[in-house]
Structure 1
Amino acid sequence: MSAGNTGQGTPDEGDDPFAYLYRPEGGAAGQQPVAPRQPSYNQVRPVGERTFGGQQGYRQQPSPDARYAAPETQGGGYGGPPDRRRNDQDSRRNGLLVGAIAVVLAVVLGIGAAILFSDDEGGDDEAGGGETTEPTGGADDGDDEGSSEGDPDPEPSDDAEPEELPAADITQLSLGGGAALEATFDGARSDSGSYVALAGRQGATVSWSFDFQGEPGMYYLYTGYSVITDDQTMSFSVNGTPREDPVKLVDYSPNDEWDTSWVRTFNQVELVRGQNTVEYTCGGSCDAAIDELFVTDEQL
């Protein structure tokens, strides 16, 4: 067969050395079987297609079995083996973070312990403990300062001075009915040395108003005076209420001199918190001089 044969039909007997195989018995010439069509050498076939025994070949396809497929052909792709280096880096980073937190906590605890122990040692030194040689003035100051900061507001001491009770200023009294402020003779106990003259002035009045912030109740009203004759009296009232007991001006001095006869007498009065007023009146015989008025909570 030449290169230009197209492969159509069968070759002639002269050209086919096996032609006798196609003859019928008896040597009679009969119809020769039609040989299958042979493909031409020049016919183009798809890659992978083959012929076996005159039959059309088949194209070999990849196996659909997923068990034998390459990992990269499976759905979702293949991520490859785990990155061990990345896992090592994450573990190292977590370890460093935990270590840093532990260091910070240790520093904070160390600072707190140092402050606590330093305070304790300072208190021991201030109290005179330890190996110090002698206490100094600074240690005493430290003790005072510590006690003032740690203790609440101290309660008032029993030795504290009581509130000062009222005492009259002779020059500030309200005078009426002929009463007058004088300084003719000496010995008056007022700050100015003057006194209220009442001798021979029947109906004269002396009024003293004052503010009282003590506890309401009974107190002693003292009247300082000078007389040279007995049986002198003055009536008085407290906060507008007349008293039944007069102020008795007894002559306790053995001589008859005004400047050497200064004495005191008292009457118990009830005072209220706030404004109080005491008023004296010469109703009868009232030859006297008044040099002081004051209130006490006990008898002198």
Structure 2
Amino acid sequence: MTPGNNGENTPSAPQGDDDPFGYLYEDGQAAGATPPSGGGGYGYPGPRSSYNHVRAVGDRRPAYGQQTYGGQQAYGQQVPQQQGQQGQHGQHGQQGYGQPNAHYTAPEAQPGGAPVASPQYAPAGGGRGRGPNTKGLLIGAVAVVAVVAVGIIAAVVTGNDDDKGGDTGAGGKPSQAESVKPSEKPEKKPEKKAELPQTDAKALKLEGGTSTASDVEGAKAAGGTYVAGFDKVGAQVTWTVNGIPKAGSYKLWVNYGVPGKNSNATILVNGKKQTRPLNMENFSGGPEGDWEKGWTHTWALVQLTKGTNTVTLTCAQSDLCGTTGANIDQMWLKEAGSEG
């Protein structure tokens, strides 16, 4: 059923007078179809019975014989005076629910067309506008720097641990060189000095009229024994020295006594005469003729070989011992740079 035919059955094909473009064809023109004029419809003359009645652009009036859905006025059309005064569900002077505004005109029907609204931008985060969150950005930057710093420190510490672990000695312990700080030099342990030999008078080999005695007080040898008779040419005593650790210069110390006058003697090492004699001066300052107050000691530099050596004190023709004499108490050796 189509509007305007009162429910009567019509053919499914459009009727000749319903063709809106009938005036364009020869048969339509022969039938009297003319272009629209004065606001009328297109096609053949006479009233239209079609629902789709062509209207001008912007014309929102209902087609001829048409009614709007539900009996309401079409969108944008004027509402009769009585409808503007009383709506279906409203009060006096109010517009009814669902009824269009009587004074409403579609934007596109207004002069100049629909207005273009400028976009409105709300500030980020809602509320009143404000700048970027600089505090949050600063906190994030500090956090990134902290993470990078921790990573670098961890890498350096791990690298140092790997270097230390790769150069350890046997058993995973650092070698002696690694245990010393770079700024320090490894300390050399002082070598323990070997005890050099020493002897008393009674252990010496006596020759040339020498003998042991103990009548003069003050001798340091065991029992106060000393060698007497060392007061004439040819008198001599010999000490056999064992255990010399290395060849070199040594100090030959001799404890002796003189009668308040200076004396000396020749030194032989392994039968070889040394360049300088043993000086036996009156270092104690005892009075002449007083043997007891003449005890003192002296030293001479000698060259020894490693192992066993013989050291001989002899009273030669040019020595003072031939006229002054001397008592021999003890003999011992010391390192060349040592004292005593």
Task: Give the TM-score range, shorter chain.
Answer: 0.3 to 0.5
**Normalised by the size of structure 2, how large is the TM-score?**
0.40
Task: Using CA pairs under 8 Å that are at least 6 residues apart, name the structure with larger relative contact order, 1 or 2.
Answer: 1
The answer to which structure has the higher helix fraction is 1
**Normalised by the size of structure 1, how large is the TM-score?**
0.45
